[in-house]
Structure 1
């Protein structure tokens, strides 16, 4: 796939990205109302980061020369509805390699904060209350990682120093990974009752939408912790609320359904839940990794080499 000329749309100022090939015309667009140039000349479109689906998809129907759509997210579900506007052969690439470290850090933060009762201690500090006592540790706790891709593996890497119990890995289909065997999604009913902590790192697909429903939650052991750093719709919010309000389960959520979580939603004040506002990938680690990825991808594109991280090719 050779492209030695044409426009490239970037959400960053081009001058801030080292190593961009000279053959393209670069334009910065991060979702503003006005396009930076004629979309018809764009051959490589880097989608704005953390903007709405409507904003992300707005220029696609006006990009007949487009060859590559590059997201800056690990998931690509927000782009899929716009594929009908693209010509055959367009490649959709994700940001594998950009978010693993940051998202895994947050997953571990949510696990530790929830088990050690940090949210309650913060509230106690606000009220000048000394909330002593015994709290759960991660040490010796069994962990089930649902969605064992690059982020799931990064989560396991960070669990290793904490002396947790057995780590069980689950993905769409069974395989062997460097850390050990990966079980299939179909095995979840047998695996859930043994897990003290369940971490969701799965992409949002038709198979995983609503995966964590009343049946899934009902198989989790009493007192278990559910951590979601994947996508909100992977979890049935009503079913989770029922378990939280009963006091049987705990949850730590970086993503919710709906999202953003509106004021007045009962999830805000449900017992035993810690909520962060979808910041798994939004850290100081994001921008330098994203810029390095774009430089590599565009260098390959200019040289006629296949770009990395291709998730699908429009047929």
Structure 2
């Protein structure tokens, strides 16, 4: 008997599936696709051998194994991939693009909490919350309620955004509500488009030299590894702050560590190279650095946003409408 709904399988770490695609979401998915069991975290296992030959849609997530030629050979009917997280670089291979498989990603949903985290850290950095709070805790007293330091505060500060990525653009939008000047470096964006986004286009050296806070949002590509070099960090204003929510390897971490240990600048690092830093790394005890464990991306109830976007995408695809958040092959080299 012909199947009335497309056959779909979940391909990710089981823990990711349980966190993102809760039972209520899976029931809603089952209204538009025939959802198979179990969750596949290995395309070579016996269960995959039973499921893949018939599957038409893979709903992927963190921990999905690579969809290489061998895996695709086991899935001759596969037509689409709906990713419940952001980057697809970890599991989509050239073989996927060569076969013309449709791809969707929940990157737009994952961008929201990263941008919110960045906005919060920009405002806190200019307010000098971390060093002031630490000094207050040490002194356990306050000499005056007024802080006349001209370097403290958000009024007409300059924020530099490295890359008008999905997240970078959202950060610029959020910054527009505040009395801040925004600079943008992105070689793929011209001055007119930067102005439309709400920023002034500048070269990278000018951005670092002119900004009170620099926030990094560029994807990690061969040409962006070490992009934030020691030379650029040396241009950052005394007391300036670097925020990195992208990838640790985009920044010359050794040069940044030296600047931080010298006490000249500050940093908010949600990512490092490697993740996690070795136990004895000096950044752990550096007062000028705030380290968070890849917290900016979707966590807790923010995972539900990923599920909702993916559910909408699956519904569209099953209805023959195509993905609203499609990943286009011509952009694959620029993906995070």
- TM-score surpassing 0.5? yes
> Greater CA deviation, 19-28 or 268-277?
19-28
Q: Secondary structure at the match of 1:243?
A: helix
The answer to whether the 8 A contact 1:223-1:248 is kept is: yes
Q: Does 1:173 align with 2:181?
A: no
Q: Identify the structure with bigger relative contact order (alpha carbons < 8 Å, sequence gap 6+).
A: 1
Mapped to 2, the partners of 1:5 and 1:152 lie a distance apart of 36
Who is 1:25 aligned against?
Answer: 35
Who is 2:83 aligned against?
Answer: 71
Note the C-alpha offset of 1:193. Answer: 0.9
Mapped to 1, the partners of 2:228 and 2:142 lie a distance apart of 33
Q: Does 1:42 align with 2:55?
A: yes
Who is 1:141 aligned against?
Answer: 157
Structure 2 vs 1, CA of residues 23 and 94 (structure 1 numbering), >3 Å: closer, same or farther?
A: closer
The answer to whether the 8 A contact 2:182-2:198 is kept is: no
Mapped to 2, the partners of 1:194 and 1:300 lie a distance apart of 45
The answer to whether the 8 A contact 1:213-1:236 is kept is: yes
Gaps of 5+ in 1: 50-54
**More helix per residue:** 2
The answer to whether the 8 A contact 2:67-2:96 is kept is: no
Q: What is the root-mean-square deviation of aligned Cα atoms in Å? A: 3.3
The answer to whether the 8 A contact 1:6-1:24 is kept is: yes
Aligned residues: 304
The answer to whether the 8 A contact 1:171-1:182 is kept is: no
> Taking structure 2 as the reference length, what is the TM-score of the superposition?
0.77
Q: Secondary structure at the match of 1:97?
A: helix
Note the C-alpha offset of 1:36. Answer: 6.3
Note the C-alpha offset of 1:258. Answer: 0.6
Note the C-alpha offset of 1:272. Answer: 1.0
Note the C-alpha offset of 1:128. Answer: 7.2
The answer to whether the 8 A contact 2:106-2:306 is kept is: yes
Gaps of 5+ in 2: 12-16
Q: Secondary structure at the match of 2:298?
A: coil
Q: Does 1:56 align with 2:28?
A: no
Who is 2:282 aligned against?
Answer: 266
Q: Does 1:283 align with 2:299?
A: yes
Note the C-alpha offset of 1:273. Answer: 0.8
Residue number among 25, 34, 58 corresponding to 1:16 in the alignment: 25
Mapped to 2, the partners of 1:88 and 1:290 lie a distance apart of 26
Q: Which 4+ residue blocks in structure 1 deviate beyond 6 angstroms?
A: 32-36
Q: Does 1:119 align with 2:133?
A: no
> Taking structure 1 as the reference length, what is the TM-score of the superposition?
0.81
The answer to whether the 8 A contact 2:126-2:213 is kept is: no
Who is 2:14 aligned against?
Answer: none
Mapped to 2, the partners of 1:92 and 1:128 lie a distance apart of 55
The answer to whether the 8 A contact 2:131-2:288 is kept is: no
The answer to whether the 8 A contact 1:31-1:48 is kept is: no
Q: Secondary structure at the match of 2:106?
A: coil
Q: Secondary structure at the match of 2:84?
A: coil
Note the C-alpha offset of 1:254. Answer: 0.9
Mapped to 2, the partners of 1:206 and 1:108 lie a distance apart of 28
Mapped to 1, the partners of 2:137 and 2:47 lie a distance apart of 47
Who is 1:52 aligned against?
Answer: none
Mapped to 2, the partners of 1:244 and 1:35 lie a distance apart of 51
Mapped to 2, the partners of 1:241 and 1:132 lie a distance apart of 32
Residue number among 218, 237, 248 corresponding to 2:264 in the alignment: 248
Q: Secondary structure at the match of 2:238?
A: coil
Who is 1:96 aligned against?
Answer: 107
Mapped to 2, the partners of 1:172 and 1:69 lie a distance apart of 30
Note the C-alpha offset of 1:32. Answer: 8.7
> Greater CA deviation, 134-143 or 28-37?
28-37
